[in-house]
Structure 1
Amino acid sequence: MRCQPRYDGPVYIWLKNKQHCLLCDEAADGATPLCMPCETDLPWLGDHCQTCALPLPAAGLTCGQCLKQPPAFEQVITPWTYSFPIDSLITRFKHNAKWPFGHLLAELLAQALHHRYEEDLPRPALLVPVPLATRRLRQRGFNQAAMLARWLSASLDIPCDERLVSRTHDTDAQQDLNAQARKKNLRNAFALAPDASIKGRHLALVDDVLTTGATAQALARLLMDAGAARVDVYCLARTPKPGDGN
């Protein structure tokens, strides 16, 4: 039985002359179902850590944690902070199977990545979605990271490999744990496919939200130890540091 949905048709009918904003239901201005006022009001990520994208008070800085313990991944690329309405859209996509919201966010992330590629960001050779625990995959019916990676793959023309890494055992939900417990929870949680060939390759992990970075770190370390040349992280949103008021 396949838990992961395979839907080859459009998740949303992208008609330029009949688009309505998914947030306010007003007429949309462009090819995506989002009007300009709502797009402007999204919680766009401002100044942030150059490595992990943690929101910071000034540009061009690296956070203390990344300076003290540099992560295995090179850079986190994300457009937004995890606050309203992005948090609500991700929750509805992830927990209520509202795929149009996920598709919309993936399209906007792809636009942001296209812009970064035109500036100075190296393009990866492969997109790798964060695998979901088997028990949670059965409960949810789909892996939101895999769906995001597929949509990004189509928009960016970068191949996606959903089988390169897997979870070797079911772990507790990360959102229920503190930073230290998250790291312990992920110890030996992932494994490479037996036929994985990643030596010298630039890879990009794909996920919905980055909080402490424990999952990204565990996967990036696994890939780098296996010979990857570079690992980046692409996600929809970055949570602020606890106590920062968001």
Structure 2
Amino acid sequence: MRCQPNAWRQVYNWLNSEQACLLCDGRCAGPLPICSPCKAELPWLEQQCRICALPLPAAAMVCGECQNKPPYFDHVQTPWHYGFPVDALITRFKHHGKWPLGRLLGSLLSHHLQNAFAQGLPRADLLLPVPLGKQRLRQRGFNQAGMLADWLHTHLQLPSQNHLLRRARETDAQQDLDAAARQRNLRNAFALTDPSRVKHKHVALVDDVLTTGATANSLARLLKKAGARRVDVYCLARTPKPGGFCPQ
């Protein structure tokens, strides 16, 4: 029947414009499954270190740690500090396989990056997800950083290489260690399968959360030694420093 395609188009449009919010189950007017009030209440990171995105009490500053010992990476771009409800959403995505939540966060991150590019942030030549060890990959069943990189590749039209970085050896879980132990834990932990692929390139590491920055710094050091021109970090959230400034 001639009316069938039109009827399906109406149903298709309704499905795309009447999604349920994944946070409150209310109706969404936009293309993403999050309503405007819930989106506004996410812990947006506004005042931060210009290099590592550490939450700070004033904008356009460089934190003391980056001044005293500049990291190997050049810039961290992230929309949120690690607070509620983003912390809970990342945990459910990462440890409980709630992929729709990860995809929502990845889509919001891509929009954040598009705005940053429009305001002058240089676009990366290549996306590289932080690699997961084989044992942890078997336990979890997926690499959340790899999934984020795939979604950013689709939304931003940036090349992504999921297997260029690898874990050279198994390491302990970083969240169980203090800052000094994290550095020791990551010594010689990563390798590049083809160093020539990053030479003279602007590379962006993709991960879910930046805590002390030890993993990103170790990977950025490896990439810079291989000839990378610039290394940025694209992540979902940045944790405040323990005992330091914490956005409300």
Please tell me the TM-score bracket, short chain as reference. over 0.9
Q: How far apart are the structure 2 equivalents of 1:42 and 1:242?
A: 21
3-state DSSP of counterpart to 2:203: strand
Q: CA RMSD in A?
A: 1.4
Partner of 1:71: 71
Partner of 2:205: 205
Partner of 2:164: 164
On the 8 A contact 1:164/1:192 being kept in 2, the answer is yes
Amino acid at match of 1:127: L
Report which of the two structures shows the higher radius of gyration computed on alpha carbons: 2
Partner of 2:132: 132
Q: 1:214-229, aligned counterparts within 5 Å?
A: 214-229=214-229
On the 8 A contact 2:56/2:245 being kept in 1, the answer is no
Q: 1:178-189, aligned counterparts within 5 Å?
A: 178-189=178-189
On the 8 A contact 1:164/1:196 being kept in 2, the answer is no
On the 8 A contact 2:206/2:234 being kept in 1, the answer is yes
3-state DSSP of counterpart to 1:197: helix
Partner of 2:90: 90
3-state DSSP of counterpart to 1:166: strand
Stretches of structure 1 lacking an aligned partner (at least 5 in a row): 1-13
4+ long deviations beyond 6 Å:
none
Residue deviations 1:64-90, cap 9 Å, x none?
Answer: 000011011110000001011000000
Q: How far apart are the structure 2 equivalents of 1:110 and 1:15?
A: 22
Partner of 1:60: 60
Partner of 1:150: 150
Partner of 1:10: none
Q: How far apart are the structure 1 equivalents of 2:168 and 2:60?
A: 38
Amino acid at match of 1:115: N
On the 8 A contact 2:18/2:29 being kept in 1, the answer is no
On the 8 A contact 2:205/2:216 being kept in 1, the answer is yes
Amino acid at match of 2:166: S
3-state DSSP of counterpart to 1:208: strand
Stretches of structure 2 lacking an aligned partner (at least 5 in a row): 1-13
On the 8 A contact 1:48/1:61 being kept in 2, the answer is yes
Taking a change above 3 Å as real, the CA distance of residues 186 and 195 of structure 1, as seen in their structure-2 partners, is closer
Q: How far apart are the structure 2 equivalents of 1:195 and 1:61?
A: 34
On the 8 A contact 2:51/2:74 being kept in 1, the answer is yes
On the 8 A contact 2:171/2:185 being kept in 1, the answer is yes
3-state DSSP of counterpart to 1:236: strand
On the 8 A contact 1:80/1:236 being kept in 2, the answer is yes
* Identity across the alignment (%): 60
Using structure 1 for the length normalisation, give the TM-score.
0.93
Residue deviations 1:147-193, cap 9 Å, x none?
Answer: 00000000000010011110011100000000000000000000010
Q: How far apart are the structure 1 equivalents of 2:159 and 2:99?
A: 21
Aligned-pair CA distance for 1:245: 7.0
Q: How far apart are the structure 2 equivalents of 1:177 and 1:15?
A: 45
